[in-house]
Structure 1
Amino acid sequence: MSHLFARSLFLGSLYYLQCSLIRKFVFKTPLNYRMQKYITLFFSVLLFAACKQASAPPADVVAEPQMVNLLTELHLTDGELYTVTPVADTLYKYGREKYIAVFKKHHISEKQFDDSYKYYTQDPEKIQGIYEKVDKVLKAKLDSITKAGKKPGATQQKPQINAVPQE
């Protein structure tokens, strides 16, 4: 109950502040009372339209852990496409197939991914948490690759062959 009271008190004070600011800055020249009412009503509707309640997640939203895995693989696919095949027409031709393969691997459709991504981006805290987890996973993969490269014998160099014999 106190939450509703605090919210209504906050919105009421915002309304009062809005009306006083409108009178001070917008109505520098005196307008008739009816015009003041319409402009105040317009800004009030605009204010209340901006105060949107959090909506319930759609039925086909991908769960957060699966979304982290999916985004990780999508970013790895992005990296692969932009480092291996830099030609634009090749990117379009083969890139779409790779993305579809990632979606099939996770058993979701492109539309379901788009809807889920739109849902998560509506809440900045959720999408930031998801991307922090994606960043951790990508850094862990990079660290494991770096550690594997530092092991002795992991990357053996071929002996140098001199083309010109030394005397």
Structure 2
Amino acid sequence: MKHTFWIILLLLAISCTGEDRPPEGVVSQEKMVSFLKEAYLAETKVKNLHLSRDSSALLFRHYELALYEKYGISEEEFTLSYNYYLQNPTQLEDINGAILDSLGVMESLLEKEGRDRPGEGNEEEEETDTGKQKRLPLDPEEMEQDPEGAMPDPEEGEQPAAEEDPEGA
């Protein structure tokens, strides 16, 4: 009986020592927060373009690949990490909380600048040969900055300038 008590105490002490460390190849919480925040912003940008499902998926895939490269992780590492955090709800909750906090700060800053929420209406109109066009960030690194490239408004479509008929026919 005396040995059973010490064995149980030893097992309890072993199970309580140290943190539950992620296995090798799991992306840190900080990197996951940054990656997932940018992925969310990219998804919102693509969604607001009102493209077909196939076109949206292709464009988002472009953003996704750029994010993997930017953060120096592979799809396999991301999947391993995501699955690890799904199995560890406390850590996943910390990640989600940090993402929400970060997006809240971004929203506050954008409101101070007189802009809308991230991913909603952050485009500027630009006068071109073919009329007004919306400027949208096309690169994941531009999503949090002012856009530099112009893209036609998907709702208006690109319409050629109407030529006037000199005879009035």
TM-score range relative to shorter protein? 0.5 to 0.7
Which deviations, in whole Å up to 9, do the C-alpha atoms of 1:98-130 show, x marking residues without a partner?
Answer: 111111111111111010010011011110111
Structure 2 residue aligned with 1:95: 60
Other structure's SS at 2:60 match: helix
How many equivalent residue pairs? 105
Give the letter aligned to residue 89 of structure 1. D
Q: Residues 32-71 of structure 1 correspond to what in structure 2 (within 5 A)?
A: 57-71=22-36
More strand by share: 2
Q: Which has the larger radius of gyration?
A: 1
Give the letter aligned to residue 90 of structure 2. E
C-alpha distance in structure 2 between counterparts of 1:104 and 1:60, whole Å: 16
TM-aligned CA deviation for residue 93 of structure 1: 2.0
Unaligned runs of 5+ in 2: 13-18, 116-169
C-alpha distance in structure 2 between counterparts of 1:110 and 1:67, whole Å: 13
Structure 1 residue aligned with 2:71: 106
TM-aligned CA deviation for residue 55 of structure 1: 7.1
Structure 1 residue aligned with 2:128: none
Give the letter aligned to residue 59 of structure 1. E
TM-score by length of 1: 0.56
TM-aligned CA deviation for residue 58 of structure 1: 2.2
Moved over 2 A (4+): 1-5, 54-58
From the superposition, tell whether residues 123 and 144 of structure 1 become closer, same or farther in structure 2 (CA, over 3 Å). Answer: same
From the superposition, tell whether residues 140 and 56 of structure 1 become closer, same or farther in structure 2 (CA, over 3 Å). Answer: closer
Superposition RMSD in Å: 2.7
Structure 1 residue aligned with 2:89: 124
More helix by share: 1
C-alpha distance in structure 2 between counterparts of 1:139 and 1:113, whole Å: 24
From the superposition, tell whether residues 149 and 118 of structure 1 become closer, same or farther in structure 2 (CA, over 3 Å). Answer: same
TM-aligned CA deviation for residue 86 of structure 1: 3.2
C-alpha distance in structure 1 between counterparts of 2:8 and 2:50, whole Å: 56
Identity within the alignment, %? 26
Other structure's SS at 1:84 match: coil
TM-score by length of 2: 0.55
C-alpha distance in structure 1 between counterparts of 2:62 and 2:6, whole Å: 54
TM-aligned CA deviation for residue 2 of structure 1: 7.6
C-alpha distance in structure 2 between counterparts of 1:3 and 1:149, whole Å: 65
Structure 2 residue aligned with 1:32: none
From the superposition, tell whether residues 3 and 91 of structure 1 become closer, same or farther in structure 2 (CA, over 3 Å). Answer: farther
Are residue 149 (structure 1) and residue 114 (structure 2) matched? yes
TM-aligned CA deviation for residue 148 of structure 1: 0.5
Structure 2 residue aligned with 1:81: 46
